[in-house]
Chains A and B, each alone.
Chain A
Amino acid sequence: MNLTLKIWRQKSANDKGKMVDYKVAGISEHMSFLEMMDVLNEQLINSGEEPVSFDHDCREGICGSCSMFINGEAHGPVKGTTTCQLHMRSFNDGDTIYIEPFRAKAFPVIKDLVVNRSSFDRIQHSGGFISVNTSGNTQDANATPIPKHDADLAMDAAACIGCGACVATCKNSSAMLFVGAKVSQYALLPQGQVEAKERAQNMVAQMDAEGFGNCTNTGACEVECPKGISLSNIARMNREFLSGAIK
């Protein structure tokens, strides 16, 4: 198929940036979206132009690197899918596709579609861990049975890939789904419960300091999250946060 692409080009963090039009031809429906971008970049290089920069690595939907805002949706039109797992069969010949970076105050653009998500890392530094040494001299792994139900819920929360689609989608640029997922994972496990309240306090404080917005319960994040992280994680975090605040 033949497509028109309207892509955000920005030379550097300080550059103003603008949308630029490109045409690509002969795109196969079996290509992934990023393979389509490879075709465009090959075309640009061959004509002596600078290719479009974008983050990507695993191309399997697990590393959380890829981050494109496609036709107004984080990771494009298919639910439960990262940009790298989106295929061209979701588009039609002759389509015009708008491609922009994930935008938020806490995710400044570095170049083209590449944004700086280190604010997510700093939130994790503030409490995204259980304070245990890596000596290996911990108790036997089966010493504390964990109900399967809790372990499964913890796993569901832990599936977050840290992509930032929730933030990019939210009109307030809130990071509640991302933070809620981490707080929940640990709060659901006996190993993490000891520090649960303090963790919620610290991570929320850091989230605010990074300039993420407030949650007004629109639920857009859950809809766009490629890993199906549930809103119930936000509720669980709020419980931990409040019980910590009252203490």
Chain B
Amino acid sequence: MSTIDGKVPAGPIKDKWTTYKDKVNLVNPANKRNIDIIVVGTGLAGGSAAATLAEQGYNVKAFCYQDSPRRAHSIAAQGGINAAKNYQGDGDSTYRLFYDTVKGGDYRSREANVHRLAEVSTNIIDQCVAQGVPFARDYGGLLDNRSFGGVLVSRTFYAKGQTGQQLLLGAYSAMNRQIARGKIQMFNRHEMLDLVIVDGKARGIIARNLVTGEIERHSAHAVVLGTGGYGNVFFLSTNAMGSNTTAAWKTHKRGAYFANPCYTQIHPTCIPRSGDYQSKLTLMSESLRNDGRIWVPGRKEDVEAIRSGKLKPTEIAEENRDYYLERRYPAFGNLVPRDVASRAAKERCDAGFGVNATGEAVYLDFAAAIVRYGKEQALLKGENNATDARIKELGKEIVKAKYGNLFDMYKQITADNPYQTPMMIYPAVHYTMGGLWVDYNLMTSVQGCYAIGEANFSDHGANRLGASALMQGLADGYFVLPYTIGDYLSNDIRTGKISTDTPEFAEAEENVKQRLESLVGNNGTKSVDYYHKKLGNIMWNKCGMSRNEQGLKEAIAEIAELRDDFYKNVSVPGGAYELNQELEKAGRVADFLELGELFAKDALDRNESCGGHFREESVEVGGPQDGEALRDDENYAYVSAWEYKGKPSDAVLHKEELTFNDIKLTQRSYK
């Protein structure tokens, strides 16, 4: 084990980024034309990076596995994007956004990166408006904001319930402009399957053309990965079906350290599983917790009656309901952060109070909000003698205006009407804070290979606050990477074109081909999904919302065993050199089967509870915080950066010590 250096510039935190930009080496415009950059991924991070680098004059080759850059997973983000604009005049500032994000991450992120993120956040909004992103506006024509959990100001910008879509289409439009100019060469339906390193530097990738199955060599002076998160290691998550870790994992195997793999965000408000055939889980935006009250029945007999259909939730009297968040956390109530809300739901369901057939669901109830808004509206309209029915009608209109599209989506999926009966929700895997380790320049531990967006680890510590992933992706791509990469490339202006006709490219290509051919030639008996579901089960039960030493050790052994079985018995029909969706899945699941083991190993190493990582061995005993998560700053205030050594079980831990000069570490209390 050794310690590693994040290359954070010296000086006061407020000046670091400005000074860095003033001093950084630049590449002159004429030389940029001679430099090629590969950008893998076209989500908010990769899309914004590709557009900006091309605009600066570099030759960009961009890759995505979908049929168009516009379909990257970022498209699904609903809620919004943070920025310290202080348009509402409620006391927001760069410092406050910085502070909230570090605290929200439970003090496990790198201070200097987070400050930089908060600094550039305001440029993002200006940029997006200039690109034609139709953010929500008020009647005066100015931009509107909403508030999200864990903070005291209103700083979230949004475009209906489709903020990610609109921001991504903005980045896509910027890419289109550069594609038209020939500065971005776009490779749709291409999947990166290996990184090529020449003389210690990232110089290209091996990609599979997903339409023809052809294996291609692509060279460049630098490689940027904006390939998203690895939540699908759990099989069921809110991620898109194709979201995967392959690009990041192959890069890890080529020498890049993987940081904090165990930091996962499990989102409290998702639609529960309805059966074994379930293929993905759907998020219901966090904003619903502003008005919804979360509860389960207080009595077991009522739970039984509900499950057998003899009782409806609306028939349970107030005194027989357990509003457990309001009971346990009177100060924050239903608005505690995501990790706390998720664990509390699991606790009630594990105790046998889950309200659906699988026992894994709690209620999110809008009845009180409907009455509250209804009374307010009746007063405003001067209807002093409004009947209960009229009050409800008025209240429903307000709830519809605020959450209509979410209510419709819920109804479409479950066939239940949430205006009449409480929604059922349960936590689901949503986001991965861990990822490739990067320094302040966003460079991984492989020279010339960068990671941006959800694919890296840097800004969210052990728990991400709502509306901050979109901010980070665009900050990295539009405003940070285009500076930091120039510093590195300024040494490459005389290098000339990188040849793909070298032993390094040949070795990597051979490696990829062998692997694909062995997968299709395996003649096994079990489908890829069979293994993916098994892996997901192990991950969810032993590396999910709450973890302990014994479970993690079992997980490590079980995943290794499952992986062996996979290579012996998986069946992948079709050939390697044609469109073959089963083969695509097989490659991704094979990598998840390795990452999962490292994930458990990391969770085992971290014997403290922080953010989304809850270790049952590390809880407060006695006092007002009894039973709550207990962080251990003395022993664990570090980033775990794992080096690959042939097998996940042999991975070697390196530590980046986290120092906090500008923020005092405190216990997060929501009581």
Q: Taking beta carbons and an 8 Å cutoff, which residues of A are in contact with B? A: 12, 28, 30-32, 34-35, 38-39, 42, 44-46, 48-51, 53, 55-65, 81, 85, 87, 89, 110-111, 114, 116-118, 120-121, 124-126, 128-142, 145-148, 151-152, 154-155, 158-159, 161-162, 185-186, 189, 191-192
Contacts and interface: CB of A to CB of B under 8 A. Distances in A.
B573 A62 contact: no
Contacts of B126: 136, 138-141
Given A51-B582, A62-B165, A136-B127, A32 B279 contact: yes
Nearest to B181: A125
11 contacts: A34-B279, A35-B277, A38-B529, A58-B240, A59-B279, A63-B66, A118-B68, A124-B176, A125-B176, A134-B55, A142-B143
Interface in B122-150: 123-132, 134-143
A154 B134 CA distance: 6
A49 B573 contact: yes
Contact of A132 (B131, B241, B525): B131
Among A64, A114, A129, A159, find the residue whose CB has the most chain B CB atoms closer than 10 A. Answer: A129
Nearest to A45: B527
Contacts, number: 205
B48 interface: yes
Contacts of B70: 64, 121, 162
Contacts of A133: 55
A18 to B, nearest CB: 18
B351 interface: no
A61 B275 CA distance: 20
Interface of A is mostly: loop
Interface string B137-174: 11111110000000000000001101001100100111
Nearest to B159: A155
| Interface residue tally on B, bucketed by range | 35 or more
A57 B142 contact: no
Interface in B78-126: 85, 87, 120, 123-126
Given A35-B278, A130-B131, A191-B130, A148 B574 contact: no
Interface in B499-527: 525, 527
B523 to A, nearest CB: 10
Contacts of A42: 527, 529
Nearest to A54: B581
Given A57-B71, A59-B279, A151 B137 contact: yes
A128 B129 CA distance: 15
A63 B478 contact: no
A151 B134 CA distance: 6
A64 B72 CA distance: 10
Interface in B328-363: none
Given A30-B275, A162-B70, 17 more contacts: A28-B277, A31-B275, A42-B529, A46-B525, A51-B582, A57-B241, A58-B241, A61-B409, A63-B76, A118-B188, A125-B180, A130-B130, A141-B135, A145-B141, A161-B165, A185-B132, A185-B134
B73 A53 contact: no
